[in-house]
Structure 1
Amino acid sequence: MIDTPQTSVLRLERRGCALVATIDDPTTRNAMSDALLTDFETLVARFQCDEAVRALVLRGNDRIFCAGADLGGKTLGGSEADPRQATVALSIRGARVYAALNAFPKPVIAVVEGAAMGGGMGLASCADIVLAGPNAIFALSEARLGLVAAQIAPFVVARLGLATTRRLALTGSKLNAAQAAAVGLVDELLADRAALDERLDALLADVQACAPAALAATKSLLDGLSGLDLATFAQTAADVFADAVAGEGAEGIAAFKQKRAPAWAIA
């Protein structure tokens, strides 16, 4: 058995050789909240060197994978003494979590059911393998809220390529499960939950047949091919994101909370 640490919105459990981390936070629609960031930080610190864990599986609860930024929370665009600096710090923290999951030294498998919006799509893009059910929906929806798909950009581009990422980020349009598979965001589209679980177990059997150190070395080698300095990019992206939050994002977040269209979307 794996000795799992205490977490607040991630449910951690063993499945064969894997650790399954299920985001279960209905109040935020599984958003990238402060609590979720803390749980991911705890997960990485505890399990990245744990030899008993051969793979990491990311899932959402039954209704949704991850809604992206926690727009209903108090941190983003909040009333801190220096709101911009608080937003920059939050953005940098998110960048570190995405980078840590992307570089996790064991295979990461995302099982997507329901919506993976904004940062949720970025979370899926950090996985090595993405499985999806027929109700999966993906979108880089930030611009529709006056925000910028900033810290997730390197991971989405690495998975989809620049042209497809541009199209999705500059329209905010949604991809259904079949469309996501067609552009390469989803590796395998399965018919239902039972088929997802069956395929997941088969993949975990394949992982267990591979040497753990060889897999870690392979991931490290492949990650080095991009040549992007993620730390430098994270600061640039945080500044761009903070400017958006203080600008058009203020209207976008207010519209989201008030369940109305933002001013720029009204003809």
Structure 2
Amino acid sequence: MSEFASKYETLLLRRERSRLYVTLNRPEVKNALNPTLIGELRAVFGILRDRRDIKVVILRGAGGTFCAGADLKNMEQSITERRPGERDPIALNNREYGTFLEMVNTTPQVVVAAVEGYAIAGGFGLLCVSDVAICTEDAGFAMSETAIGIVPAQIAPFVAARIGVPQTRHLALTAARFKGPEAQRLGIAHHLVKDSAALDAKLEEILKQIDRCAPLANALTKAVVMKVGSEPLSSVLDFAADRFAEARRSPEAAEGLRAFAEKRQPKWVTE
């Protein structure tokens, strides 16, 4: 079983039973994304894909800010020569963030984003691949890329999957800035809370709800839902039937049915 590093340069990791708290830790730049941070996040989620002992991942930012997007100082220095006949290295570098977002989007664990401060640009995209999002009322959001002359290339597909193409067009083509209530109205945030203290309380409430759900059943359910809209319905239903059979034959289902009959909690609730 792959293990996490004992220490990361730009992340703080804390394990609590089947929960993994992953905190972006560049507070001096509002947790802006740089190659090191993205690389460390990719490494963590690469390990998570095969970790069945972790049921939920909580994403948060240190210093009261979720993530203010890409580190623009790093971006200014990232122009490299384009060689004839080869794909632009800028495109290759940009695509790496999309690969990371795909990893988060499809990880078997439940991903909970706890957002305060700002979720801008790449940070906004990271928020939009969470399964559950809790945001404070005063948190700020934007797809701000077009306002500085670049394209929200890798986040736009995930934002569109979250809130639909028409709303994504509006946000991306105006670089509109908005707060928590609008994020909830658009379907970006599932839960809206007053402040950081309320965020902590709501987070614990949500985590207790997730504790009630079986890890394998959640992972298989997520896999089914992720296929909706990308494949013909009949194919999705075939895939779903196979996942149902996989779950039904698992020790989890045996334990869940036995616990129901015995009027007790399944073992995974307190693991």
CA contact (8 A) 1:18 1:53 kept: yes
For 2:41 and 2:179, locate their aligned partners in 1 and report how far apart those are by CA, in whole Å: 27
- 2:41 corresponds in structure 1 to 40
**Helix, strand or coil: the match of 1:65?**
coil
Q: CA RMSD in A?
A: 1.9
Q: Which runs of 5+ in 2 are unaligned?
A: 232-271
Aligned AA (1:147)? I
| TM-aligned CA deviation for residue 210 of structure 1 | 0.9
- Does the alignment pair 1:103 with 2:106? yes
Between 119-128 and 176-185, report the one with greater CA deviation: 176-185
CA contact (8 A) 1:23 1:65 kept: yes
| TM-aligned CA deviation for residue 53 of structure 1 | 1.1
- 2:252 corresponds in structure 1 to none
TM-score scaled by length of structure 2:
0.78
For 1:77 and 1:144, locate their aligned partners in 2 and report how far apart those are by CA, in whole Å: 19
**Helix, strand or coil: the match of 2:14?**
strand
- 1:4 corresponds in structure 2 to 4
- Superposed CA offset, 1:205-235 (max 9, x none): 111211111111111111111318xxxxxxx
CA contact (8 A) 2:48 2:107 kept: no
Counterparts in 2 of 1:61-76, with a 5 A limit?
61-73=62-74
Structure 1 residues 92 and 37: alpha-carbon distance in aligned structure 2, compared to 1, 3 A threshold: same
For 1:190 and 1:58, locate their aligned partners in 2 and report how far apart those are by CA, in whole Å: 17
Aligned residues: 226
**Helix, strand or coil: the match of 1:166?**
helix
| TM-aligned CA deviation for residue 145 of structure 1 | 0.6
Between 128-137 and 10-19, report the one with greater CA deviation: 10-19
CA contact (8 A) 1:28 1:72 kept: no
Q: Which runs of 5+ in 1 are unaligned?
A: 229-267
Aligned AA (2:45)? V
Which of 157, 162, 178 pairs up with 2:160? 157
**Helix, strand or coil: the match of 2:174?**
coil
- Does the alignment pair 1:78 with 2:81? no
For 1:32 and 1:88, locate their aligned partners in 2 and report how far apart those are by CA, in whole Å: 17
- Does the alignment pair 1:49 with 2:60? no
| TM-aligned CA deviation for residue 101 of structure 1 | 0.3
| TM-aligned CA deviation for residue 85 of structure 1 | 2.5
**Helix, strand or coil: the match of 2:36?**
helix
Between 60-69 and 159-168, report the one with greater CA deviation: 60-69
| TM-aligned CA deviation for residue 56 of structure 1 | 0.6
Q: Which has the higher contact order (CA 8 A, sep 6+)?
A: 1
| TM-aligned CA deviation for residue 60 of structure 1 | 0.8
Counterparts in 2 of 1:1-267, with a 5 A limit?
4-5=4-5, 6-73=7-74, 78-82=78-82, 85-227=88-230
CA contact (8 A) 1:130 1:186 kept: yes
